[in-house]
Structure formats: structure tokens, C-alpha cells
Amino acid sequence: MSRGNMEGDSSGNQVLPYPVNCDHKMRVTLRRHTTGVVTFGDTGDLCTETDDVDVDLVHQDALKQLLRHGSVLFAGGVAGSVGKTVTAPLSRLTILFQVHSMVSTRHTDRFSPTVSSAFTKVLKNEGILAFWKGNGTSVLHRFPYSAVNFFTFEMIKNGIIAQKHPTFTQHSWTTMFASGAVAGATATVACYPIDLIRTRLATQLNTDIRYTGIRHAVQRISAEEGMVGLYRGMGATLMVTVPNLAINFTLYESLKEYARSLRRSQILPGLTPVEREQAVERHSDMQLSVTDTLLCGGTAGIVSSLVTFPIDVVRRRLQISAIHAENAGIRPTATGIATDLFRTQGVSGFYRGLTPELMKVVPMVGITFGTFERLKKVLTMED
């Protein structure tokens, strides 16, 4: 590394220059003291021309990075759990609609065909707490799932941007789409068994109880279907979560940037060119209001749900197919389930439960994104 022109500081030490193309956030200032020892400051670039290094400062920087990663994981987990719990009643109705013909037998009634009648039936037969049936498992799944999802998205996005490829800029849809897709795949594979158990618990009616809890569900599924049973339907699930989260993150980030530009445009008229430039810089990463966050997140959630909902119906049915298979020797496939669903219910069968899903997705996605951004801001002490 070339030293170039070295500037002095107030203590008489010399500050080694850093490359002009270096990301400001990644700089660590190098100071050559009068003793000839090069140490690290708070900004700048790494230098190999050292007699000694301030190891404590390097450790402090590593600790800050670790704490920031932990904050992102925690904020993501809490955000997902809060969003899921608030919308749990609609989530359960959606799942029951999606699989109602499979959980209906000669001993149980068919599930109600409308949202209002379904709500009334569950409330009458099972009580108000039934709308949160399986929510403990949902949170057990949602916390690590959402944590891994947000963390992976941030890491992949930052990694892509650091490559400085013209196609993958900071706010380009290609960057967001690729990051969201990888995040969705990673979180799904990591947390899938809990998702399957959650689905089976949520689809139980009081007239047909197969699993008494999470532990019993794991034991029974493993005994009857083998360990592979805990991953039944994962392929179909990836077909849902990968495009769903890719679209979700892409639209949310794009709409968020658009909302910020609108807010900035409201404060720019009447300012001088210098004041306008300063205002743009000051509000480049401005915090959106709760309403803006809900609108951005809700819109992204609606679009992603409309695109992936038919596949979601198939994957939910695949997750519980082993319970209701007439012949234990036959393992239903996603293709087989989709074909049978189309034959018996037509195209409308692939959109059964869409109404409660859309009613759920606006508050859930909005709450999740809003909680994540605000909690991350507090934990990482961002300006």
C-alpha cells in the first residue's frame, strides 16, 4: 500500500491515507506514531506496513460486528413472532380452508365455506382460544425462521453490494430479489420440521385429535412415517417461500425507497441548491411512519401471496397427506395432489382460503417489517 502524502494530527502522529474508493463504513484509520508504530483508528483501510497492531481495537470492532449480527437476528425473530401472533386467528382459518376437504371425514363435518361462518363455527365448537391453536408452535417456528430470514437477507444483500457489480446496485430489484430468494431458501430448510408440525396441529379439530402437543407430534410422525416424514412437502414449500420472499423483499424495499423519495420531495421546494443537497443527504435513510411501513409491507405481502397462493395450498395438503392417505403404501406427491385438487374442485380449489389470507397478510407483513426496522434501530443504536 502506498503511503502517499501523510497528514499530521494534533498529537504529532501521521495519518496514513486510505484508498479513495474504499467504503466509508469499512475504513479503519491507520496512524503512524512518532515511535514508528502503526495502529488502528476509527476510520481507514488496513495496512500491511506495520510494526505492531492495536489488537484490542480490532477485538472491539469484531465484538461490535458480533453484537450487530445478534441484534439483527433477535429483531428478526421478535418481529416475526409478533406479526404471527397478532394475525394467528386469520392464519388458522386460512390453513383450515386450504385443507378442509382433507380433514373432513365421515365422522367430522366439512369445514364452513365462508369466513364468517368458519369464524362462528370455530368460536362455538372450540372457544376463543382455538384461534390461537398451534400458535405456540407457530412462534417456535417463526422466531428462528424470521431471524434467519432477515439476517440472511441483510448479509447476502451487503455481500452483493460490496461486489460493486453494475447489475446489483444498492437499491436495484435484482439485488433485493436474489437476496430475498436465498434468505427464503435458507430459512425454510433450517426450520421446516417445525413448520410441518405447526400445520398438523393447526388443522386438528376437537373431533379428531391426533397429536396432543409438539413432543407427541414429533414422536408419532417419526414412528409412523420415519424421520423423512418431518420433511414431507419441503420441496413444495421451497417453491412457495423462495418466490414469495423474493417478491416480498423486492417490493417492500422498492416501495420503501419510493415512499422516502416522496417524503423528501415534500421538504425540498423553496430550498437553495446547497440546502437541497444537504437535506437529501440528511434524509437519505429517513425513518418511515407506521402508516407508510404498513402500506409498503401490506402491498408487498398481497402481491407475493397472490402469486404463490396456489402452490401454498398444494404444499399444505402435502404436509398432512400422510394422515389421510387411504393406502399407507402410497406416498402422495405434489403433482398428484394438484391433479386431484383440480379434478375435484377446479381452479377455485387452488384459491380456497385466499380471503382470510389477504386479510391477514397486510397487518402481518406490515407489523413484521415495522417491528424489525424499529427494533434493529434501537438495538444497533443507528442514527
**What tens digit of pLDDT does each residue of 159-183 get?**
999 888 888 888 889 999 999 999 9
Alpha-carbon distance of 155 to 51, in angstroms, equals 33
Q: Would you list the DSSP string of 142-154?
A: HHHHHHHHHHHHH
Domain for residue 287, yes or no? no
- Residue 162 and residue 94 in one domain: yes
> To the nearest 5 percent, what fractions of the chain are helix, strand and coil?
70, 5, 25
In a shared domain, residues 34 and 142: no
pLDDT given for residue 75 in this prediction: 94
- The three-point CA angle 127-124-85 to 5° equals 40
In a domain? residue 333 = yes
> Of 53, 70, 85, which residue is a domain's last?
53
**Can you give the pLDDT at residue 242?**
95
The yes-or-no verdict on residue 101 having pLDDT over 60 is no
Residue 348, domain member (yes or no) = yes
With vertex at residue 344, the alpha carbon angle to CA 340 and CA 350, rounded to the nearest 5 degrees, is 75
| pLDDT score at 4 | 42
Q: Find out whether 1 and 48 touch, Cβ atoms under 8 Å.
A: yes
281 domain residue, yes or no: no
Residues 151 and 214 in one domain: yes
Q: For 140-144, 193-197, 208-212, 313-317, which range has the lowest pLDDT when averaged over its residues?
A: 208-212
Instruction: Point out the least confidently predicted range of 36-50, 121-135, 300-314.
Output: 36-50
Which is more confident, 359 or 207? 359
Shared domain for 140 and 34, answered yes or no, is no
pLDDT digits (tens, 9 = 90+) for 3-24: 444 444 444 444 444 444 444 4
- Same domain for 22 and 165? no
**Residues 48 and 170 occupy one common structural domain:** no
Cell reading at 304: 407475493
User: Per the structure block, which three cell numbers stand in for 345?
Assistant: 374442485
Q: Does residue 149 lie in a domain region?
A: yes
pLDDT digits (tens, 9 = 90+) for 121-163: 888 887 888 888 778 878 888 999 999 999 999 999 999 998 8
**Which residues constitute the domain of residue 19?**
7-53
Question: How many domains does the chain fold into?
Answer: 2
Alpha-carbon distance 320 to 337, whole Å?
11
- Verify that 179 and 317 share a domain, yes or no: yes
Evaluate if residue 48 carries a pLDDT over 70: no
- What percent of the chain is modeled with pLDDT above 90? 24
